[in-house]
Amino acid sequence: MKQITFVYDPETEQEKLEELLGRLDPKPDEHVSFTELSVAHYSRGHWLACSLPDSQLKELFEKLKGSEVNVGILPHPKMVGGKKGLGISSSFEKAWEEIQEAEDIPKMDLMQVNKELTFNSLVVGNSLSILYSNGSTGFVDGIRTRFSQLVNLFRRVKLKAYTITYKNKNNEDLTINTAAMGILAVAHCESNLIFRRIIQESGLDDGRVHLLILAPKSLFALIQFGIQHLFIPMKGGTLPHFVGYLSTHEAVISSSEAMEYAIDGEEGKANELIINLVDEKLKVLPGSSIMGSAEKEGPAEINIKSLPVGRLKTELLHSYLPWVRHATTEEFKELFSMLRQNSKTSSSYLVLMALSTMIATFGLFGDSAPVVIGAMILAPLMGPIISLAMGALRQDSPLVRNSMLTIFWGIILGLIFSILITWITPLEVLNNQITARIRPNLLDLGIAVASGIAGAYAYSKEEISKTLAGVAISVALVPPLAVAGIGIGWADWSVFWGAMLLLGTNLAGIVMAAALTFLILGFSPFRLAKRGLLISLGILLAIALPLGLSFNEIVKENKIIQDLSGKEIPHGLLREVKVLRMQPLKLSVTILSEKALDEQDFKEIRQEIEAEIGQEISLELTLGVRMGDIEK
């Protein structure tokens, strides 16, 4: 038969004590105040069911070191850390029921910080409280707390220097010198909300303490993590790259400045915090919410090598956390090396430029979209344009000069080959493929901007660099160049200038968007990038003006076509409406009539159409006569 002694808070009033005893079914063998408790009276196998505040519970655990007494925990209004750290149910009756049903229980790891017993967590750094709280009771309070924490994410955050010394699996001492927003340490991952969502494999008796080192490199990254943690909690979510996880049986956190910390919510300051497990384990019954984690063993560390060190650490400690991260030279050394290589006018670049232009020109004359797409994939222009964007962003004169020379020679070579092919080709017809590239508008600018973002992002991320072919297809660089050469070959300057405007649109849009993307990704501080961005923006706005006018004309054309297509007028039904010219307006229209029409009818049809759209037109009219169910 299980022997249980109920241990209660000495400050409990008699009426409240009687109420608590009345809720215990079956009744305990005895009940005793904490101040009157003598642990020496209890032997192996005896149970102490304790409803005590955190402070008294810690005293009790100190007294029970080395004892074989079983400890069960009942909720108490002032037991906050113990309730969370041990997973104790909020229901007094349920917690008592779990104690009644429990048989032999294993000894449990308990964490201590500077020899002080810690039930739930150690929080180092006052900034970390933005993302960590003890939670709220009730749905409304929980929502209010989350929004308050979300607003606090936008405040200025300053990282601090920490040195973390720990022992690995081989009992070797390792040291991390980093800049972090804060550090969170617990004895059991399952007992803490943040750890439970992210770290899946951790038991109650794994012989380790667990640390999360939060070291964001930008406010954007912090806000993203905060929103996910506060509003979209997912168990088993991926640990963000700026959050390092470490598990060890002993760790020391130190700093040259006094660190602000909180142990189970109790605040303090210290230059050094020693975190380890209590030498003598206790037989403590955890709540059912964390009992299932007893047999798991998780990873030793995650993302530790991603924590800021060296120059990046120095930069982050220098001022408040930036909105966007600033990559160090070491971090983008490979990217910068590749961009410098792409900015050079190599023989392979010139050969690919000549071949892609030839393919594009033949495809344009053949009105073949697949051939033109093939030329886009082969074209090497995207490389020097992205290099130009980085050079403009970082005010790197050699990179800008080399990129512009490479682009210039590529354009000249492309024009030469497209002109030669035009001269030897007996075709001089504006087909769909050519016409599509001589009237650029704001839609083309939008495509260029999106392609510039995609190109810069793909270059900066090695794992997605294979998408560069898709980027090349999305923005037509070589086809408008080939059309410009066709315009010169035909001596048709409207074709030439329209195609060159499209090419300039693509160049300006890509450079501006790519530079801005590199800025957001942290490859240049804003003070250095400001001049290059302003110049790029000025060129983009200058190009956007004629594109806006062209887009406005397209809108007007579409409105005319929509107003007339399928319109029933006195002389018949209008179909196949096309705008041949806007100034003066010239239309091509097919009309279906029930009878043959004469010249007077044609004049009246023009007047009827003019009345519909409210302006004078010149008209090319195609007549279709309906004969019964047959249309001619």
Per-residue burial over 252-276, b = 16 or more CB atoms within 10 Å of its CB, e = otherwise: bbbbeeebbbbbbeeeeebeebebb
Gap between the Cα atoms of 506 and 523, Å rounded: 23
Predicted pLDDT of residue 632: 39
DSSP 228-267: HHHHS--TTPPPPTTEEEEEESEEEEEEEEEEEEEETTEE
Q: Which residues pair with 310 in a beta bridge?
A: none
DSSP 467-531: GHHHHHHHS-SHHHHHHHHHHHHHT-HHHHHHHHHHHHHHHHHHHHHHHHHHHHTTSS-HHHHHH
Q: Tell the residue number behind the tokens 């005793």, with chain if given.
A: 32
Give the closest residue to 297 by CA, choosing from 405, 390, 189. 189
The amino acid at 460: S
Gap between the Cα atoms of 627 and 580, Å rounded: 30
- The pTM is what? 0.64
Gap between the Cα atoms of 260 and 181, Å rounded: 12
Q: CA separation (Å) from 448 to 88, 165, 437, 467, 538?
A: 58, 50, 14, 16, 16
Predicted pLDDT of residue 329: 60
Which DSSP helix (H) or strand (E) runs through 374?
Answer: helix 369-378
Gap between the Cα atoms of 204 and 87, Å rounded: 11
Predicted pLDDT of residue 294: 47
- With beta carbons less than 8 A apart as the criterion, state whether 623 and 588 touch: no
Gap between the Cα atoms of 289 and 90, Å rounded: 11
Estimate to the nearest angstrom the gap between the alpha carbon of 213 and the chain centroid: 20
Gap between the Cα atoms of 201 and 128, Å rounded: 24
Gap between the Cα atoms of 528 and 412, Å rounded: 32
Give the closest residue to 162 by CA, choosing from 126, 107, 124, 193. 124
- Which two tokens mark 556? 């007007």
Gap between the Cα atoms of 360 and 376, Å rounded: 8
Per-residue burial over 156-178, b = 16 or more CB atoms within 10 Å of its CB, e = otherwise: ebebbbbebbbeeeeeeeeebeb
pLDDT means over runs of 10, the chain (632 residues) = 90 92 91 92 90 94 87 93 87 92 80 91 76 51 60 73 90 91 85 66 71 85 69 59 88 93 90 91 83 62 87 82 66 80 90 92 90 84 89 89 94 94 88 84 85 82 54 68 92 90 89 87 76 84 81 81 82 81 81 80 83 82 67 42
Gap between the Cα atoms of 118 and 112, Å rounded: 5
Q: CA separation (Å) from 43 to 30, 68, 70, 96, 482?
A: 15, 7, 9, 21, 94
- Domains of the chain, earliest start first: 4-107 (3.40.50.10330), 116-318 (2.60.200.40), 333-554 (1.20.1080), 565-631 (3.30.70)
Gap between the Cα atoms of 239 and 59, Å rounded: 36
- Residues sharing a CB contact under 8 Å with residue 28, sequence separation 6 or more, in sequence order: 4, 5, 6, 21, 49
